Amino acid sequence: PENDPILSESIPSYNLWIKWDKLQASELAKLLIENMYHHCGIGLSANQIGISSRAFAMLVDNTPIVCFNPKILEESEEWTYDKEGCLSFPGLVLKIQRPKAIAVTYQDQDGQTTLASFSDLSSRCFCHEMEHMDGYTFLDHVSDFHLKAARKKQRLTLRKIKRKEKRNG
């Protein structure tokens, strides 16, 4: 839920194999991917489902990956301004500025460190999910004026969805 206090907590990095065993890491990865797909998202941070862990799932070229202890190493000088949604704020769409490309590191569920570069939507998604683990949401990027206008559209969108659900039984 959007006002869950865990969304405003900064989650520290940890030694994956001290905090988790391989089975637990694998189970968390599976849970993140399942929930991301269930809610039709392209990214989902562990704290969005009530788990205080520095981990998230995201789609890269329609393939799910799970990132434990992710870090952004470098951001491109070029930034883009585009629409974003968030599973913690159903129906809310905001225009957010993000780096067009990033270089990152993260561990997979087996503890292997990966260096990767993402651009466009994948860069946007990685940055968005990282913010969840740092205690921020995309609301922190917009003015009260823009948020108020977006909330109005959100209410209309959610009403339309509810009416459609009622009709479809």
Q: Show which residues are catalytic.
A: 129
Cβ atoms of residues 127 and 72 within 8 Å = yes
Cβ atoms of residues 32 and 49 within 8 Å = yes
Cβ atoms of residues 46 and 28 within 8 Å = yes
Cβ atoms of residues 75 and 102 within 8 Å = yes
What's the half-sphere exposure (Cβ side, CA atoms, 13 Å) at 33?
15
What is the identity of the amino acid at 5? P
